[in-house]
Structure 1
């Protein structure tokens, strides 16, 4: 039995939930959730709320997601009683060349399990960037299913970007973890490493041109980003840094809208983006668990957690057989959920891939860019080999909307690479198998299993559960901590169709995360004495 993280921090992590009959939003940053909830307060719907939340994260959590990223969204449309999935994953440039990524045997494998290449070109810097799909995906969702104007929805994000990024201890931690990568890029270094060191708490960072870029998108939408004036500056910066992304690559980008994958479990239908996400593994895990536990006990038992662990091991084994070496690690990405009074519900997960992505901030736009080239193999002859125009087609992201009796009951998603699907599916299973509230399910101890030779277990589990799991698996006894996040970072909302109460909550390990109820958006003024770091 391995005990690498047992009881090393002397506190109990809890987080409050937001409640309202008018809807709720949950996000990895409270201000972003409040930006989304303000759309509900102004008469908007859950789609307006999720888009506002996603854009606001550019200004308050830039290291996880943003304009330079990509992802998935699942939407439940209450009046139509149907679910929709959006795939806005990144694509490789048409002029992709394997010779730009020579394998370096002296380097460790990348977080995706592929060989390292010379100068880390597939994980850091301009050559690691794919065509970003975030703006296309968010604009598609808003124009197709939203109810408010783009300008109204994006105003909070612009206000936050104009104010600048308030640095707290958690922000300093994120910067410090990635200081080496950020130091490679002059613009990123000037923003996040003032004086050559990670920005310190109680300072404020100004990200040059970000507010202006958000304003241009608010006015011109995806068109200006992919085939307009903004395109020219994006491509000019990219190519000056060595990227092969062209204007034609941006112009050719498209969002995929489709019927999501459905999984049935105890009267619920769970909708996910399907096989290109963690959705297939989720469906398989629930099927294994249902077979092992046809009738659940009143409360989870040691046998319950053994069934869940074995189900996770089995679905991950099948996944690794299907996909080979893709083993995305880390605790990056941003996930958010929203629900409105009408019962519309959304789960959105999008990402720069690794924390701070490529480490590149484009000088003309203030956009922090992804490093999603690392989703692909630099060696020839594999299904995942880098190839011009190829789209990211395998991800751990697993935004989920659960529907019962034609009513959306909850949506849940998470950040955390390989940790995502196990955490999302456990929260969902606890709510479906044991009728737990979303608040209780989020706070319940978790396991993490992905067919890697051991199972990670929270020491808050009962001695009986630990003993039962230890009879079957080698255990890593690992406390839930703020960093590293060992059980993912979950965001979720729920709605009771009988009472109309909506609840929003973020993972207790995320000190800046939270849920928000509808209210006008208001930014607290910052102290005039607070130092502003300007590149």
Structure 2
């Protein structure tokens, strides 16, 4: 049940261009990347600039204190790769700090056993070693063409100006006010007198901005001193000191030894398409499993029907069963290699970069590093707190991520699809691939088509716009709940994507995401 209008329809235009473009969960960040393309940068230059800009304009989703993964396509070499920069547990982490309590599972993104005071979810004990800066460092070394400082300059300028607090930002902040108030530095940054953020009046158009001057100083230092300063220099010293004061065991050694890594994608054929799923501790393995099962059971045609959705739901259930039982970093090796934001870039040459980066939960740990003005991640939540399992919590262990930035080729079309939304990411990516490959939908048609979410074993969520025949068929394999695509909360993941066909490019973002947008290189070319 909902109170929302049944006659209102929301859509977004998908525009084709001969130049490059960036599709992101925030318009301003997309514009930063598009401007880099217009100034002669390639897809990776735009991706790095967009990444750091997103950490400023959407600070509760991602940033330098988080981690993630990117999948990229190099059109000249016709090669796909993954760059992994996930978070990991500090080596000094003590399992005794996470005692289990008998009060049922948690209610955020996972269903682990509950830990005392939810300290694995929020607060200082939930913070893992960040990897985003190292990921962008490696990407810059391998494929960027512009200087590091030049690519971070837009993020510095945005932080100096301060994030615009509109109605959506106010909603995001208000939704976690009580937890933000528990950390004095988070309260100072986001709240007023420990309570609500600035919220515009009913007809008020006066502009209000977040004070991100401390973040601006830290980003300027990162730009000028280079990425290793975050792990071995002045910024590392500040971060370790901040975490020590908060009660987190993050050490200089944790930072100094952290490295991102590059690896081949998980590449499979799906009907007449080639899919490059991410490697490492992502949802890439489960995407491969899902696609193989769908290929055997799902019949392609003009449009998806009840049989299509049942086959997709069964495939996702099987993939998640395997993931929940077997996935994780079993090595415990410190050298092993969300909420979340995602963006996709394609340049005029056809190079693609597909990035998903995250603090994990919305506002991460709800803890702010006072020396940097940045929210810290809560990557420890990715671990199962019960011992004896592949993904059980352990010192120095890499986090098992839900991210799934994917690149595909189908009948001459290249596409890059990613999403935000924790365990809902995999179903969204699988839905969209199926729409484009099995039913030959355009990117625009796929993003507007209703989806299903099967991100666990006990329930299916179906878009209420799907027919009752489809909903009834799904209900025969698992309890099915009809839900509407809304702005908050999101019953489904929040995807972004780009496509290239016959030398032209287009991009799309989730139709219900109020900030999500595609920005074209051509809009910033001075003629």
Is the TM-score greater than 0.5? yes
| SS of structure 2 residue aligned to 1:509 | coil
Write the distance in 2 (CA, Å) between the matches of 1:7 and 1:302.
Answer: 26
In the other structure, the counterpart of 2:380 is 373
Write the distance in 2 (CA, Å) between the matches of 1:410 and 1:5.
Answer: 35
Query: Within 5 A, what are the aligned runs for 1:321-360?
Result: 321-323=325-327, 332-360=339-367
In the other structure, the counterpart of 2:191 is 193
* Pair 1:447–1:40, CA change in 2 (3 A): same
* Pair 1:321–1:373, CA change in 2 (3 A): closer
| SS of structure 2 residue aligned to 1:235 | helix
Q: Do the aligned residues in 2 keep the contact of 1:156 with 1:521 (CA within 8 Å)?
A: no
| SS of structure 2 residue aligned to 1:209 | helix
Write the distance in 2 (CA, Å) between the matches of 1:126 and 1:487.
Answer: 29
In the other structure, the counterpart of 2:318 is 314
In the other structure, the counterpart of 1:395 is 401
Give CA deviations for 1:18-37 in whole Å, capped at 9, x if unaligned.
43211111111010111111
Stretches of 4+ moved more than 4 A in 1? 4-10, 519-522
In the other structure, the counterpart of 1:203 is 208
1:266 is displaced (CA, Å) by 2.3
* Pair 1:451–1:374, CA change in 2 (3 A): closer
Give CA deviations for 1:124-177 in whole Å, capped at 9, x if unaligned.
222211110000001211221111111221221111111101111111111111
Task: In structure 2, list runs of 5 or more residues that go unmatched.
Answer: 201-206, 329-337
93-102 or 239-248: bigger deviation:
93-102
Write the distance in 2 (CA, Å) between the matches of 1:312 and 1:91.
Answer: 27
Indicate which of 44, 47, 67 corresponds to 1:47: 44
* Pair 1:454–1:388, CA change in 2 (3 A): closer
Q: Do the aligned residues in 1 keep the contact of 2:426 with 2:455 (CA within 8 Å)?
A: no
In the other structure, the counterpart of 1:128 is 126
* Pair 1:302–1:121, CA change in 2 (3 A): closer
Write the distance in 1 (CA, Å) between the matches of 2:66 and 2:476.
Answer: 42
Write the distance in 1 (CA, Å) between the matches of 2:224 and 2:69.
Answer: 24
In the other structure, the counterpart of 1:163 is 161
In the other structure, the counterpart of 2:70 is 73
In the other structure, the counterpart of 1:253 is 258
Task: In structure 1, list runs of 5 or more residues that go unmatched.
Answer: 325-330, 523-535
In the other structure, the counterpart of 2:520 is 517
Give CA deviations for 1:374-405 in whole Å, capped at 9, x if unaligned.
1223344433333221111x221100011357
Write the distance in 2 (CA, Å) between the matches of 1:256 and 1:400.
Answer: 17
Q: Do the aligned residues in 1 keep the contact of 2:59 with 2:363 (CA within 8 Å)?
A: yes
Q: Do the aligned residues in 2 keep the contact of 1:39 with 1:49 (CA within 8 Å)?
A: yes
- The structure showing larger relative contact order (alpha-carbon pairs under 8 Å, at least 6 residues apart) is 1
| SS of structure 1 residue aligned to 2:226 | helix
| SS of structure 1 residue aligned to 2:296 | helix
Write the distance in 2 (CA, Å) between the matches of 1:120 and 1:355.
Answer: 15
1:232 is displaced (CA, Å) by 0.9
Q: How many residues are treated as equivalent by the alignment?
A: 508
TM-score in terms of structure 2 length: 0.92
Write the distance in 2 (CA, Å) between the matches of 1:157 and 1:519.
Answer: 21
Q: Do the aligned residues in 1 keep the contact of 2:326 with 2:390 (CA within 8 Å)?
A: no
Query: Within 5 A, what are the aligned runs for 1:50-449?
Result: 50-106=47-103, 108-109=105-106, 111=108, 112-195=110-193, 196-201=195-200, 202-274=207-279, 276-293=281-298, 296-323=300-327, 332-392=339-399, 394-404=400-410, 409-449=414-454
Please, what is the CA RMSD of the aligned residues?
Answer: 2.1
473-482 or 72-81: bigger deviation:
473-482
| SS of structure 2 residue aligned to 1:413 | strand
Write the distance in 2 (CA, Å) between the matches of 1:107 and 1:468.
Answer: 31
1:451 is displaced (CA, Å) by 4.1
TM-score in terms of structure 1 length: 0.90
Write the distance in 2 (CA, Å) between the matches of 1:33 and 1:484.
Answer: 23
